[in-house]
């Protein structure tokens, strides 16, 4: 890991790509418009980026469809596609510090998280998915002896991926790796709040040998470029990570256009249950990490904490102590655990929810929002609010910031009822030393993912995604390939 001084020096020499990447070339938006990319830690301009809209989408989709039909990538031998993607993974590894720095400057994520968590996971995702693609077999159905029924997996065509600002490189890799490995042409629309790292990635895809037109990047806004992709009749699949509100709009757009498949990883309001037979200090440290890591800008953040009443006082003491380790600071400092919020809008959203929580009867026991001073970054503090209940707005709605709601429960049944009382179902965690309880409770939690005596742990080999208003489909694992392939049945009469 580089030192704080080294990261500061590197940031001053960093260059940025600000143009769209279409058919293997960087180019300005057709309308000539741009938007500003701001460093949220300093409020200084990083660069201006092309603001794509319908015209750019039409060009990119037409090229992507043409190259898909040509077969140069879609019909390439799987082993050759694998080798190209492995080369891309190697190039990402060679440039990992640069890519890490781009995300830190662009959206405020701590450089230590980027170097130690995000970039290793990005590289692993491309490597593992590349290695898997020539090991996915077709099937022969058990029909009669006079027929042969073949079941195969085929690429779907043009895939549009819309990715969020909180994990720019990581969330992109979870979609790009399987979509490309399966043989599709891909158009990526990154969030307008953090487009810089994937624009650099575009250069690396060309260097790796991915044919022109197979991978495209269209920076722009959701209501322009995003909507145009969702409504386009030649886009076959739309994969999205973001808010539940936007996810619902994308399903509507798909229905109004060509009924394209829409895969959604939407919002979350994950619960964490603390039972009285757990290791209190370890559980408190995990609870703090689950809400304060990445400034709380995490879809699986356990923002609802339910503690068994018999250990509530002891646990709160340990929790406040653990929270004290999360002080907002310069994300270029490797010792910083919390950077700034991504922009002023998000910072003010966090402030509004803290104020509403107190107005509804919540008790501020740690943190709060310090007075904002222009030119000093969009920082919020780690915040804990006790005496919360499930009727409060800040308990029910996703904040996407470092705000923890704490409630208590008496029985296991009560804990489950509180945890499942949410429109969301992305992640959930529980802490207990009782093995039977761990199995019993995890089975009853209405969530796509459950962590027992931990939080946020995962692996490329396991699926990531939720239920209810948190979406559908899964990223990571072999199940991700299901989103980007069609099943075809060929029935042959041989009698």
Which positions are catalytic? 265, 299
What is the side-by-side order of every strand in the sheet holding 261-265? Answer: 25-27, 20-22, 215-217, 185-189, 158-162, 237-241, 261-265
The strand pair at 147-155 and 485-493 is best described as antiparallel
What token pair was written down for 118? 């995000």
Q: Could you please report the per-residue DSSP string of 60-119?
A: HHHHHHHHHHHTTTTTS-HHHHHHHHHHHHHHHHHTHHHHHHHHHHHH---HHHIIIIIH
Please give the Cα distance from 158 to 65 (Å, whole number): 6
Please give the Cα distance from 226 to 195 (Å, whole number): 14
Using N-to-C axis directions, what is the helix angle for 78-94 and 196-208, rounded to 10°?
A: 130
3-state helix, strand, coil in the chain (%, to 5): 40, 20, 35
Helix count and strand count (H, E) for the chain: 16, 21
Residues 6+ apart with CB under 8 A from 489: 141, 149, 150, 151
């Amino acid at each position: 890991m580089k030192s704080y001084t080294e990261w500061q020096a590197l940031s001053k020499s960093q260059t940025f790509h600000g143009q769209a990447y279409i058919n293997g070339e960087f180019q300005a938006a057709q309308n000539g418009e741009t938007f500003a990319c701001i460093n949220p830690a300093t409020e200084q301009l990083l660069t201006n980026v092309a603001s794509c809209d319908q015209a750019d989408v039409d060009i990119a989709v037409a090229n992507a469809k043409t190259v898909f039909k040509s077969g140069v990538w879609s019909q390439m031998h799987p082993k050759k596609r694998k080798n190209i993607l492995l080369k891309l993974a190697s190039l990402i590894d060679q440039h990992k510090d640069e890519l890490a720095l781009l995300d830190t400057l662009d959206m405020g994520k701590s450089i230590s998280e980027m170097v130690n968590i995000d970039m290793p996971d990005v590289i692993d995702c491309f490597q593992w998915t590349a290695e898997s693609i020539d090991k996915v077999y077709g099937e022969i159905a058990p029909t009669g002896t006079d027929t042969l029924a073949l079941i195969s997996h085929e690429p779907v065509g043009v895939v549009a991926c819309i990715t969020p600002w909180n994990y720019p490189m990581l969330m992109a890799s979870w979609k790009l790796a399987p979509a490309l490995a399966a043989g599709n042409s891909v158009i990526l629309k990154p969030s307008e709040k953090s487009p810089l790292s994937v624009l650099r990635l575009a250069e690396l895809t060309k260097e790796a040998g991915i044919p022109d037109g197979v991978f495209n990047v269209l920076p722009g806004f959701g209501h322009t470029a995003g909507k145009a992709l969702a409504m386009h009749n030649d886009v076959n699949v739309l994969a999205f990570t973001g808010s539940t509100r936007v996810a619902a709009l994308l399903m509507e757009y798909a229905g109004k256009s060509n009924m394209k498949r829409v895969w959604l990883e939407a919002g979350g309001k994950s619960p964490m249950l603390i039972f009285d037979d757990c290791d209190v200090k370890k559980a408190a440290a995990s609870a703090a990490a689950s809400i304060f890591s990445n400034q709380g800008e995490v879809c699986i953040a356990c923002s609802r904490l339910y503690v068994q009443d018999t250990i509530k006082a002891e646990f709160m003491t340990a929790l406040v102590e653990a929270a004290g380790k999360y002080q907002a600071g310069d994300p270029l400092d490797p010792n910083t655990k919390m950077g700034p919020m991504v922009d002023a809008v998000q910072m003010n959203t966090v402030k509004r929810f803290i104020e509403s929580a107190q107005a509804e009867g919540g008790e501020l026991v740690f943190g709060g929002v310090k007075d904002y001073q222009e030119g000093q970054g969009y920082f919020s503090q780690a915040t804990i609010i006790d005496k919360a209940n499930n009727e409060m707005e800040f308990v029910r709605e996703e904040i996407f910031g470092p705000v923890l709601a704490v409630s208590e429960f008496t029985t296991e049944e009560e804990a489950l009822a509180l945890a499942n009382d949410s429109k969301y179902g992305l992640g959930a965690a529980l802490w207990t030393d009782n093995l039977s309880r761990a199995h019993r409770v995890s089975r009853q939690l209405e969530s796509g993912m459950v962590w027992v005596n931990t939080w946020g742990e995962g692996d490329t080999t396991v699926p990531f995604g939720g239920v209810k208003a948190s979406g559908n489909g899964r990223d990571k694992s072999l199940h991700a390939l299901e989103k980007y392939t069609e099943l075809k049945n060929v029935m042959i009469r041989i009698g």
